[in-house]
Structure 1
Amino acid sequence: MIYDLHSHTTASDGSLSPAELVQRAVERRVDVFAITDHDTTDGLQEGHETIAEMQLPLTLINGVEVSTNWQNHEIHVVGLNVDIANPALQAFLAEQRNKREERAVEMGNRLAKARIIGAYDGAKALAGDASITRSHFAQYLVEQGVENTFQNVFKRFLAKGKTGYVPPNWATIEQTIEIIHQSGGQAVLAHPLQYKLSTKWFKRLLTAFAEAGGDAMEVGQPQQGITERTQLATYARDYNLSGSVGSDFHRPSSWTELGRNLYIPKDCTPVWSSWPEIDTKRVSTAEQSA
């Protein structure tokens, strides 16, 4: 079975609607799939409804990706199998989205001082009803011809220390793991190599995450080499964490795709090993989210 437990829709900064995304997952032969939008669960209902209406052979897991602040680093934690009706979870996510909005306004102000006028309004228009993210700013700046790629926009304007960067005021890892657990979910450290920490600081992060009750870490992503995957699996075992996999899909591209190259080394315990047995008919879990 192919698992892909990290993806995004237009409910946050993805380019595909939930309906389009679950259909693409099926096309890519994914069996078990999680939608994990940034600080919102708004896309899940449409995903479940599409699977039910089209009778798609896909099990959809309720998920969310939460931005946290740890030692002045922005660390992302994915919640899997969360109860989206949990009042405490929804209140927590609403506060996170308020923080996103405040940060976005300040980013717009800083870019305006750099003579890039209208960036906030442009990014807000692109986000629509979704939570505004740096990706929306990057998309707007590319469309305006300021730079020609997302990567160049981040390097020049939106990365830490650059003109448009605003330090986030996210929740702590401890607060995030606690609320995920309160909603019945599992807390997964997302894309651990993207933080570009030294080995010393990475081990500190894993220690803090494990001590706060974290359940798993992502050990498999599409672009990953065998050495990186093996090393992450070793770290997962050393810190008593399960392993998860995810494409972190945002939009169709040449370097990442749903379900591509997603596997866990045999000596690493999968995060789904504690889940109820997946039905062999791969029926959607829509009824569980109702």
Structure 2
Amino acid sequence: MTSILNADLHCHSVVSDGTLTPEALALRAKANGVELWALTDHDEIGGQLRAAAAAKEVGLRYLTGVEISVTFANETVHIVGLGFDATDPRITEGLQATRGGRGQRAQEMSAQLAKVGIHGAYEGALRFVGNPELISRTHFARFLVESGVCRDTPEVFRKYLTDGKPGFVPHRWASLQQAVQWITDCGGLAVIAHPGRYRFTANEQYALFSEFKAHGGQAVEVVTGSHSPSEYVTYADMAKEFGLAASRGSDFHSPDESHTDLGALPYLSGELTPVWELLAHRIQ
């Protein structure tokens, strides 16, 4: 396989904070011309068997996937895992531990919102949750839009759910080392997700890439739904500098919310090593 492959290795289903089922995502990916797909729900692999079966049903090549939340330099960073053994208890137990704080955090977010006159946010957010263990800021955002507090989810995040705003509550996630180790111990490959999204200084970003590589991480998302064309170039250069393979994924969550659809991204540069070349033996 070459870099000229419509691979979409980052998206979310109702198992975490997406709005479509794994089966509907497989159909949408196939219809949009995706040739290699991975479902990467947040801190949860409960949809993997369904996604793999659905991909097989529509004739779509598949890699197991997950997006793990980690805390690095006081910022939440996401590490995508691809091609791991989804039946290995080490990754299941690790993810279960990192999910543990979400429920308490959600209750605290609701209490903070109540102080500024927005009541019933926890119960409202729960209506949008496929898996209560995975209640997140996205579910609160959907409730605040539905109830008319804000026009859309970006407005919710700007006004309420980011650092310094009334509904923001930080959460301590796994460490970078733990996330990479869970993935690699189970036969998979770790990827830094959408690095352009993090509010790091140049030194902090260099430290992230250096530590990630030192722990056994092997790839970075270069072409992704939240990167600009100039960031494609920036992170292609960083992939080459650190000797990392390149990944590609839309980060699709919902037909109504995501500005990049499954399969709609430009191809990777031919100068890069595509992550799927390193995972050819893991593709289903």
Contact 1:219 1:229 in 2 (8 A): yes
2:126 pairs with 1:124:
yes
Q: State the match for 1:45 in structure 2.
A: 49
CA–CA distance in structure 1, aligned partners of residues 116 and 231 of structure 2: 39
Residue 260 of structure 1: aligned partner: 264
3-state SS of 2:103 partner: helix
Q: CA-to-partner distance for each residue in 1:177-202, whole Å, 9 max, x for gaps?
A: 11111111111000000113232322
Partner of 2:66: 64
Partner of 2:189: 186
* Corresponding position: 1:156 with 2:152: no
Normalised by the length of structure 1, the TM-score is: 0.91
Give the number of aligned pairs.
278
Map 1:183-222 → 2, pairs under 5 A = 183-222=186-225
Aligned mates of 1:47, 1:273 — CA distance in 2: 21
What residue in structure 1 maps to residue 168 of structure 2? 165
Q: Is the 8 A contact 2:222 2:235 kept in 1?
A: yes
Aligned residue type for 2:33: R
- 1:1-290 correspondence runs (5 A): 1-52=5-56, 55-130=57-132, 131-222=134-225, 224-253=227-256, 255-276=259-280, 285=284
> Quick one: distance in 2 between partners of 1:47 and 1:209?
28
User: Does the 8 Å contact 2:16/2:130 carry over to 1?
Assistant: no
**Do 2:73 and 2:204's aligned partners in 1 also have CA atoms closer than 8 Å?**
no
**Alpha-carbon deviations, 1:94-120, whole Å to 9, x = none?**
112211122112111211222211111
CA distance in 1, matches of 2:198, 2:72: 11
CA distance in 1, matches of 2:281, 2:192: 23
Alignment partners' CA distance in 2, 1:223 and 1:141: 23
Q: Which moved more, 1:144-153 or 1:40-49?
A: 40-49
Three-state SS of the structure 1 residue aligned to 2:64 is: strand
Q: Which amino acid aligns with 1:229?
A: Y
Give a deviation string over 1:143-187, Cα, whole Å, max 9, x none. Answer: 111111100000100011211111111011011111111111111
Range moving further from structure 2, 118-127 or 198-207? 198-207
Q: 1: distance between equivalents of 2:248 and 2:93?
A: 28
CA distance in 1, matches of 2:262, 2:177: 30
* CA spacing shift, 1:17–1:271, aligned 2, 3 Å: same
Aligned residues: CA RMSD: 1.7
Structure 1 regions of 5+ residues with no counterpart? Answer: 279-283, 286-290
Gaps of 5+ in 2: none
Contact 2:71 2:175 in 1 (8 A): yes
- Stretch deviating more after TM superposition (99-108 or 174-183): 99-108
Q: CA deviation at 1:222?
A: 3.9
> Taking structure 1 as reference, are residues 195 and 268 closer, same or farther at Cα in structure 2, changes over 3 Å only?
same
Q: Is the 8 A contact 2:194 2:226 kept in 1?
A: no
Tell me, what secondary structure is at the counterpart of 1:69?
strand
Q: TM-score, normalised by structure 2?
A: 0.93
Task: Quote the offset at 1:214 in angstroms.
Answer: 1.1
Which residue does the alignment assign to 1:288? none
Q: Percent sequence identity over matched residues?
A: 38
Contact 1:247-1:262 within 8 A present in 2 as well = no
